[in-house]
Amino acid sequence: MIDIRKSDERGHADHGWLDTRFTFSFADYFDPKHVHFRTLRVMNDDRVAGGGGFPMHPHADMEIVTYVLEGALQHKDSMGNGSVIKPGDIQYMSAGTGVTHSEFNASKTEPVHLYQIWMFPEKKGQKPVYDQKNFSEGEKRGKLPLIASPDGREGSVKIRQDNELYATVLGEGESVKHALKPERHAYVQVARGSVKLNGTELETGDGAAITAEKTVELTGVKNAEVLLFDLK
C-alpha cells in the first residue's frame, strides 16, 4: 500500500525569514491523521532567508537529521560543535539527555533550503552525539547510497534507531530499487524534481508512506533528488 502525501496538502507557515512545509504535525500545525509515520516524527521542508535562522533552543530524546539542498547552514551546539552544512552534507544530532543548538543561514543574502528530519530514538536518556558526513552528487547519481543507519555500515552516519536513510539523484529514465523486508515500512520524500514511485508519478515536495510492499522502485522523470527511509 502506498499512501501519497501531496506537497500542497502539507502544513505551511511563513514567518518572513522562514518559509516552511510540514509533512507531519509540528509547532502550531496539527493534523491528527499526520502526526508521524512509524518512527519518523518530523519532515520539515525549510527555506531560510539570508541572515535568518533558529537561535539557541533545546531538544531531548530525538534523532535529528539535517539535509541541505541549496545554500549553507551554520550550526553551533552545547556539545561544542560548530560547522557549516552544505549540499551533500548530512548532519546528525542525537539529542539524548538534552542539547541546545542554533542553525543560521551562513549567508546574509542568499537563501538556504533544507530538510530537517526527526526520528524517535530507540532508547531515551542517552548521551548526546553529533556527526556530519558528505555524500557527493556523483555518489548518488543513478545510485541509492546508504547515508544513515543503526550500524554505520557503508560509511553511513550511525544513528540510534533501527532505521535506514538512503538518498538518490535521478535523471530522466534512471532507476533504483530497494527491497523491503516483510516487517519493514518505507517513506519516500521527493526533495526536488519528479520521479515515478512503483509507477506513480510524484513531484517536488510529495511524499509517500509505504506499507506491505516488497520493493520500492524510483525512476527519474525530471532532475530528481529523493530521500528514502526504510523504517522499523
Band of residue 81 on the pLDDT scale cut at 50, 70, 90: confident
Dist. CA 116–CA 142, nearest whole Å: 24
- Residue 132 pLDDT exceeds 90: yes
Q: Mapping DSSP to helix (H, G, I), strand (E, B) and coil, where does residue 11 land?
A: strand
The answer to whether residue 207 scores a pLDDT higher than 90 is yes
pLDDT at 186: 98
Q: Which residues pair with 57 in a beta bridge?
A: 101
| 116 pLDDT above the threshold of 90 | yes
Q: Which amino acid is at 149?
A: S
| Cβ within 8 Å of residue 108, ≥6 positions away | 50, 51
> Rounded to whole angstroms, how far apart are CA atoms 31 and 25?
6
Using DSSP's 3-state secondary structure scheme, residue 8 falls into helix
Using a 10 angstrom Cβ sphere, with 0-12 exposed, 13-18 middle and 19 or more buried, the burial of residue 96 is buried
pLDDT band at residue 77 under the 50/70/90 scheme: confident
Closest residue by Cα to residue 185 from 65, 25, 36: 36
Share above pLDDT 70 across residues of the chain, in percent, rounded to a whole number: 100
Report the run of H or E that residue 221 belongs to, with start and end: strand 215-231
pTM to 2 decimals? 0.96
Mean pLDDT of all residues in 93-98:
95
- Distance of alpha carbon 138 from alpha carbon 186, whole angstroms: 24
Give residue 80's pLDDT: 87
For residue 94, what are the β-bridge partners?
63, 129
86: which residues sit within 8 A by CB, 6+ positions away? Answer: 68, 71, 72, 73, 134
For residue 155, the SS3 value is helix
> In this predicted model, what pLDDT tens digit does every residue of 56-74 receive, in sequence order?
899 999 999 999 999 999 9
Confidence class of residue 123 from pLDDT cuts 50, 70 and 90?
A: very high
pLDDT of residue 3: 97
* Separation in Å, CA 172 to CA 144, 193, 196, 207, 220: 16, 10, 10, 19, 5
Average pLDDT over residues 147-158: 97
* Average pLDDT value for the chain: 96
Please report the pLDDT score of residue 130 as a whole number.
Answer: 94
The helix, strand and coil proportions of the chain, stated in percent and rounded to the nearest 5, come to 5, 55, 40
Window from 8-17, 76-85, 181-190, 193-202 with minimum mean pLDDT: 76-85
